[in-house]
Amino acid sequence: MKFLSKRNIYVILACVFLFGIIFLNIISLQDTKEPEVRFNFGKKLPLQQIFLLNFFGFLYLLLFVWGTINVLNLLGKRLKRQHFFDNVKIKKFQLSEEKSSKLFFFIFLTIFLAQIFQIVFFDPKTNPIAKIIFTNFILECILILIILKFIPRSQLNFDFKNLNFDIVFKLYTMLFPLIFIAFTLSNLVFKNFKIESSINPAITILLSLNNKMLANLFFVQIIFLGPLAEELFFRGFIYKLTRTQFSFFFSALFTSFVFALLHRTFYDILPLTIISMLLCYIYEKTQNLANAFILHFLHNSLNLIGILLLKSYIFIS
């Protein structure tokens, strides 16, 4: 029967595991007690740390202003039907339908099994941070290997020799005002529907870490492994696959929706969607996955430094 072709079976199974992942995320959010976060800015810190905080505060403000100018410049050129960046010829994605559906199946199966492992073997009454970090580390490594196994490197267009630093920096600065708007809108919507705000699980783990080895491993995940695995999967596979059939906007929106959904942070769905849309945009304009990776790396790295500098003022319980 044509319906029972390998492609269709892989698609059905991939959808089953995707819905399983969503279901497990909903269950875990309901069972997880939101930690209480308190700030104490009256705490005295060493002069060196105060200097670094002021420096990064000024840097964030500078990038925010610069990004706002770039956003307005982009909107102005779009209204005049001018190009903000030069267009690059879109490269065809030559992975077969059967291999694509098979890759979806293995990716969602791996994520589903990782979540099942965490639920079954982690005791929520004890400190599960170490197991979560190690599980996520192994998961990201497996996902990278699976994608590299299925998609030829020539198809991924991961070229560090031809990075577009000008485009990367312009879009990176644009993240600041756009994410600020996204968080503001999210906050208004959540308050209007009387939904309590939540903290990104990565921030909770970061603030709770005291073990140096675990902290270093988690830093590697945040600034390198996470961005690499996510760019390979979301931009290198999902976006490229949908872009062969649909417009940029629909492909980027669909990719960004899946990206936000799999991050398991309901409160951050809109900001995560904005981030992913820009990552899709830079890939669309440069056809080089390395540019999207560098943009993702910069975003995670600066946020990590900012949280670490503020950690002395934050208390979590």
224 half-sphere exposure, CB direction, 13 A CA radius: 7
Q: Classify residue 21: in a domain, yes or no.
A: no
Q: Classify residue 39: in a domain, yes or no.
A: no
Q: Classify residue 121: in a domain, yes or no.
A: yes
Tokens of residue 62, six digits: 């500078």
**Is the pLDDT reported for residue 32 higher than 80?**
no
Domain that holds residue 118: 45-316
Provide the pLDDT confidence category of residue 49 given band limits of 50, 70 and 90. confident
Q: Classify residue 259: in a domain, yes or no.
A: yes
**Is the pLDDT reported for residue 313 higher than 80?**
no
Question: Is the entire prediction scored with pTM above 0.85?
Answer: yes
Bridge-based pairing state of the strands 314-316 and 37-39 = antiparallel
Q: Classify residue 282: in a domain, yes or no.
A: yes
Q: Classify residue 254: in a domain, yes or no.
A: yes
User: Measured on CA atoms in the order 52, 57, 62, 64, is the torsion positive or negative?
Assistant: positive
| Each residue's pLDDT tens digit, 201-236 | 777 788 778 888 888 999 999 999 999 999 999 999
Helix %, strand %, coil % of the chain (to 5): 75, 0, 20
Provide the pLDDT confidence category of residue 129 given band limits of 50, 70 and 90. confident
Q: How many domains does the chain have?
A: 1
| Each residue's pLDDT tens digit, 263-278 | 767 778 889 999 999 9
Query: Which pLDDT value is given to residue 239?
Result: 92
Q: Classify residue 146: in a domain, yes or no.
A: yes
Q: Classify residue 32: in a domain, yes or no.
A: no
